[in-house]
Chain A
Amino acid sequence: LAKTTQPISMDSYEGQEVNITCSHNNIATNDYITWYQQFPSQGPRFIIQGYKTKVTNEVASLFIPADRKSSTLSLPRVSLSDTAVYYCLVGDMGTGGFKTIFGAGTRLFVKA
């Protein structure tokens, strides 16, 4: 599985757009990029996934350049409740047996 590198922490203010970048230089052809969010004392929650270009849902956008060696999770107009740890995962986990690697994640702290 491709190893991922993310910033350890980020600070932001309410109402700002936050972009968290993940590096995955060894991404394989079949790998997808998936992001999870984890609040304190809870299990991670799936946010978004993509293979290439841009994906958007009601929570976030995911930007993936053509070479797919990195990806950027974009959170529009964050609020205090977006304070959490965000994990970037890379792998082909669509079917059958697989292994998954959650790194240390990026701790986002949103200030008032």
Chain B
Amino acid sequence: DVKVTQSSRYLVKRTGEKVFLECVQDMDHENMFWYRQDPGLGLRLIYFSYDVKMKEKGDIPEGYSVSREKKERFSLILESASTNQTSMYLCASTFRDRGREQYFGPGTRLTVT
């Protein structure tokens, strides 16, 4: 079974803090993704990576950065957290040639106060 794990299920941070969200997958997938999910808006793509050290912006990259130093790990970084970044963050991964079939982690609910 594919396993995508995220470092925390719940996280509370203060405005201005630097926040790291970690995602690890165990299926040797080339592609990894970070989404945020907000009520009524569905899932919105923040960044994705198709290889180690490679990244591309998604639909809403502002205020975020990412890091992919190893194939299995994809990190989302909030350089200076703001209250409008309070959200559910979901990580996903997939094989390069099977991008439509994404495997998601359980999500991290981040609250910025």
**Which A residues contact B (CB, under 8 angstroms)?**
32, 34, 36, 41-46, 49, 87, 89, 91, 93-105
Q: Which residue of B lies closest to A46 (CB)?
A: B101
Are A93 and B99 in touch, CB under 8 angstroms?
Answer: yes
Nearest Cβ distance between residue B106 and chain A, in whole angstroms?
6
A97 near B42: Cβ-Cβ < 8 Å: no
Q: A42, B50: Cβ atoms under 8 Å? A: no
The interface size of chain B toward A, counting residues with CB under 8 Å, comes to 29
Determine whether B74 belongs to the interface, using a CB cutoff of 8 Å to chain A.
no
Judge whether B65 is part of the interface by a CB distance below 8 angstroms: no
Establish whether residues A34 and B100, one from each chain, have CB atoms under 8 Å apart when the complex forms: yes
Segment 79-113 of B: residues with Cβ below 8 Å from A? 90-92, 96-107
Are the C-beta atoms of A44 and B104 separated by less than 8 Å? yes
Partner of B43, one of A42, A49, A102: A102
Which among A45, A49, A93, A100 has the highest number of chain B CB atoms within 10 Å? A100
Q: Which B residues are within 8 Å of any A CB, using their own CB?
A: 4, 33, 35, 40-45, 48, 50, 56, 58-59, 90-92, 96-107
With both beta carbons as reference points, the residue of chain B lying nearest to A49 in the complex is identified as: B100
Complex CA–CA separation, A105 to B38 (angstroms): 12
Q: Please give, as numbers and ranges, the residues of chain B lying within 8 Å of A44 by CB-CB distance.
A: 43, 90, 102, 104
Closest residue on chain B to residue A102 by CB atoms = B43
B50 contacts A96, C-beta separation under 8 Å: yes
Give Cα A19–Cα B44 distance, bound, in whole angstroms: 25
Given A97-B56, A104-B42, 15 further pairs, Cβ under 8 A: A34-B100, A42-B104, A43-B105, A44-B43, A46-B100, A46-B101, A46-B103, A91-B100, A95-B96, A98-B48, A99-B58, A100-B99, A100-B102, A102-B35, A102-B43
Measured between alpha carbons, how far is A104 from B45 in the docked complex, in Å? 13
CB neighbours (8 Å) of A105 from chain B are 42
